């Protein structure tokens, strides 16, 4: 029987549509929390007297309530309605990683590494609070509209002090992503999540998990006895494959001790700007050979630079200064959200004056899906860092008067038309806050509001955006 939407669930929630099925036979709905007028995901379970399912459902809520991380789903509310119990949590607007892999077949090395890094950071946050997910897989990782991954469905997780809700010898999880200890029905540790993320990482790069096909029992046996096949991609650095293989060690003690160690080693691998044609050659070199290769590449550059310095008498006394850039005729500023009082945006955000604030209605920002403004540069422009002053900083009273950006996502397009994304968290204080990144030539910058401090206010404000860099004549 098909369900009709929208319809009331209770006095607090209105169901807008069915998103899918969760663990334990639950259903997940897109819903509206009526009092706060916000969209949430409502996970509903009809226990029908199944005490074990009810315990697991409450265990999920207990596990999630202490979690507060941008890469983990957050819980807002838990309750009962008739014979059903429900959890209200973050509504993640995007696509699952499993759908992304189906659509793209394989992900590029940089994207796959970014997703693994962020998921690991979120799970490290959970592990520090005693929560083990136990079912990490692509369908439980959502890729949000800002390209940030978010881990969902803690339905079979183990929280601090929680008891096993499965009998001895029983296994819970998805066969393709289960660790050897899960396959044997043993107690799981945080290394089980590390193993499962290793499987997901492998799948993002190959298109399939390393152990798949056939009956579930055959897959479980592969986890216990077989090694994963080598990744057949020339653009995957050997050091990156070594990181994945360490996650997939059969013995718990041979894997990373925690996700913090995994992230540290992952970030030492260079996955940016790799030329696929040259990678295959470089990958065959040992570490010592790579050092020699690097020296041979650098030496000619140093010699040429020395010759230039000795040849030309007039050497510049200093390099071009990195200035605070101000809007010029080469800039095109498209502001999606108009300020409360009509005024040129240049004189509000780029005037070197924190006392003039860009005050915006929350409704206008919501209508533009959070996109505040886009700057397009017609001249070659290299950005070194950004400074942002949130709120109305003309005085302390005005600072508290309006909502203030808590998180902003910055989309920037480089000279090759490739788009990258950076989400920054801002402290709730009266001062400039600076964001530093590797210098990059950009053609376009977009600022998108993600969340705010003091949500009860009708307006929010930004006093200043400072862009530091170099603008060249073509």
Domain boundary among 90, 118, 136: 90
Q: How many domains does the chain have?
A: 4
For β-strands 459-471 and 323-325, DSSP reports them as antiparallel
Q: Is 145 a catalytic residue?
A: yes
CATH number of the domain enclosing 370 = 2.60.120.260
**Is 68 found in the same domain as 107?**
no
pLDDT at 321: 46
Q: What pLDDT is attached to residue 170?
A: 40
Burial of 444 (0-12, 13-18, 19+ CB in 10 A): middle
Residue 305: inside a domain, yes or no?
yes
Answer yes or no: do 246 and 293 share one domain: no
Residue 403 lies in a domain: yes
Percent of the chain with pLDDT over 70: 80
Any domain includes 318: no
Mean pLDDT per 10-residue segment, the chain (474 residues): 84 92 77 93 77 70 80 87 85 93 95 97 93 91 93 63 40 82 86 97 96 85 93 94 97 96 95 54 58 77 73 44 65 70 66 77 76 83 81 84 86 73 84 72 84 80 82 66
Q: Are 211 and 219 in contact (CB under 8 A)?
A: yes
Nearest to 127 by CA among 191, 199, 182, 180: 191
Domain that holds residue 424: 326-471
Claim to verify: residue 177 and residue 213 sit in the same structural domain: yes
- Are residue 107 and residue 206 in the same domain, yes or no? yes
Please report the pLDDT score of residue 169 as a whole number: 37
Q: How far apart are alpha carbons 266 and 113 in whole angstroms?
A: 8
Is 386 domain-assigned?
A: yes
Q: Which of 90, 111, 134 is the last residue of a domain?
A: 90
305 in the same domain as 254:
no
* Residue 209 and residue 250 share a domain: yes
Cα 240 to Cα 266: distance, rounded to the nearest angstrom: 7
Q: Is residue 116 part of a domain?
A: yes
Query: Does one domain contain both 267 and 124?
Result: yes
Residue 377, beta-bridge partner list: 331
Exactly one of 14, 95, 124, 145 is catalytic; name it: 145
CB neighbourhood size of 464 (10 A) = 21
**Is residue 2 one of the residues assigned to a domain?**
no
Residues 295 and 434 in one domain: no
Do 337 and 444 belong to one domain?
A: yes
Q: What is the pLDDT of residue 60?
A: 64
Q: What is the pLDDT of residue 314?
A: 45
Residue 335 lies in a domain: yes
Order across the sheet with 84-90: list the strands.
7-8, 13-21, 27-33, 38-46, 84-90, 75-81
Q: What is the CATH number of the domain that holds 64?
A: 3.30.200.20
Same domain, 183 and 193: yes
Instruction: For residue 5, count other CB atoms closer than 10 A to its CB.
Output: 13
CATH of residue 116's domain is 1.10.510.10
The total number of residues shown for the chain amounts to 474
Residue showing tokens 């990782």 = 141
* Residues 451 and 380 occupy one common structural domain: yes
What token pair was written down for 44?
A: 């509903």
SS (H, E, C) the chain: CCCCCCEECCCCEEEEEEEEECHHHCEEEEEEECCCCEEEEEEEEECCCCHHHHHHHHHHHHHHHCCCCCCECCEEEEEEECCEEEEEEECCCEEEHHHHHHHHCCCCHHHHHHHHHHHHHHHHHHHHCCCECCCCCHHHEEEECCCCEEECCCCCCECCCCCCCCCCCCCCCCHHHCCHHHHCCCCCCHHHHHHHHHHHHHHHHHCCCCCCCCCHHHHHHHHHHCCCCCCCCCCCCHHHHHHHHHHCCCCHHHCCCCHHHHHHHHCCCCCCCCCHHHHHHHHCCCHHHHHHHHHHHHHHHHHHHHHHHHHCCCCCCCCCCCEEECCCCCEEEEECCCCCCCCCCHHHHCCCCCCCCEEEEHHHHHHCCCEEEEEEEEEEEEEEEEEEEECCCCCHHHHHHCEEEEEEEEEEEECCCCEEEEEEECCCCCCCEEEEEEEEEEEEEEEEEEEEECCCCCEEEEEEEEEEEEECCC
What integer best gives the mean pLDDT of the chain?
81
Burial of residue 69 (CB within 10 Å: 0-12, 13-18, 19+) is middle
Q: Is residue 321 part of a domain?
A: no
User: Is the domain of 39 the same as that of 98?
Assistant: no
């Amino acid at each position: 029987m098909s369900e009709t939407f929208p319809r009331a669930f209770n006095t607090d929630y209105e169901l807008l549509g069915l998103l899918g099925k969760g663990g334990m036979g639950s259903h997940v709905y897109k819903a509206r929390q009526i009092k706060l007028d916000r969209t949430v995901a409502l996970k509903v379970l009809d226990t029908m007297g199944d005490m074990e399912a009810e315990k697991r459902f409450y265990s999920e809520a207990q596990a999630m309530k202490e979690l507060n991380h941008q890469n983990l789903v957050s819980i807002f509310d838990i309750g009962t309605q008739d014979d059903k119990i429900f959890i209200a949590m973050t509504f993640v607007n995007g696509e699952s990683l499993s759908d992304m892999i189906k659509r793209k077949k394989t992900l590029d090395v940089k994207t796959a590494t970014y997703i693994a890094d962020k998921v690991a950071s979120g799970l490290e946050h959970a592990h520090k609070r005693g929560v083990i997910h136990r079912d990490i897989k692509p369908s439980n990782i959502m890729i949000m509209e800002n390209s940030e991954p978010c881990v969902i469905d803690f339905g079979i997780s183990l929280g601090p002090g929680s008891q096993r809700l499965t009998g001895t010898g029983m296994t819970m999880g998805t066969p393709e992503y289960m660790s050897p200890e899960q396959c044997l029905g043993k107690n799981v540790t945080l290394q089980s999540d590390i193993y499962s993320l290793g499987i997901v990482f492998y799948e993002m790069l190959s298109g399939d998990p390393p152990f798949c096909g056939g009956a579930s029992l055959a897959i479980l046996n592969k986890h216990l006895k077989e090694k994963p096949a080598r990744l057949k991609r020339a653009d995957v650095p050997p050091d990156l494959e070594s990181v994945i293989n360490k996650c997939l060690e059969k013995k718990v003690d041979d894997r990373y001790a925690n996700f913090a160690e995994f992230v540290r080693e992952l970030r030492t691998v260079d996955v940016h700007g790799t030329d696929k044609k040259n990678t295959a050659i470089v990958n065959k070199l040992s570490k010592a050979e790579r050092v020699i290769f690097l020296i041979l590449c650098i030496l000619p550059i140093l010699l040429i630079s020395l010759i230039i310095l000795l040849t030309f008498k007039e050497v510049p006394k200093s390099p071009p200064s990195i200035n605070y850039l101000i809007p010029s005729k080469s800039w095109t500023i498209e502001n999606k959200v108009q300020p409360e009082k009509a005024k040129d945006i240049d004189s509000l955000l780029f005037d070197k004056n924190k006392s003039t604030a860009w005050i915006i209605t929350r409704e206008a920002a919501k209508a533009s899906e959070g996109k505040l403004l886009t700057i397009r540069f017609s001249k070659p422009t290299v950005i070194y860092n950004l400074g942002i002053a949130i709120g109305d900083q003309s005085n302390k009273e005005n600072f508290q008067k309006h909502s203030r950006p808590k998180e902003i996502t910055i989309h920037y397009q480089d000279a090759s038309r490739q788009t990258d994304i950076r989400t920054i968290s801002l402290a709730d204080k009266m001062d400039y806050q600076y964001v530093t990144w590797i210098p990059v030539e950009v053609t376009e910058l977009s600022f998108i509001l993600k969340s705010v401090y003091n949500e009860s206010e009708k307006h929010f404000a930004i006093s200043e955006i400072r862009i530091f860099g170099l603008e060249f004549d073509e």
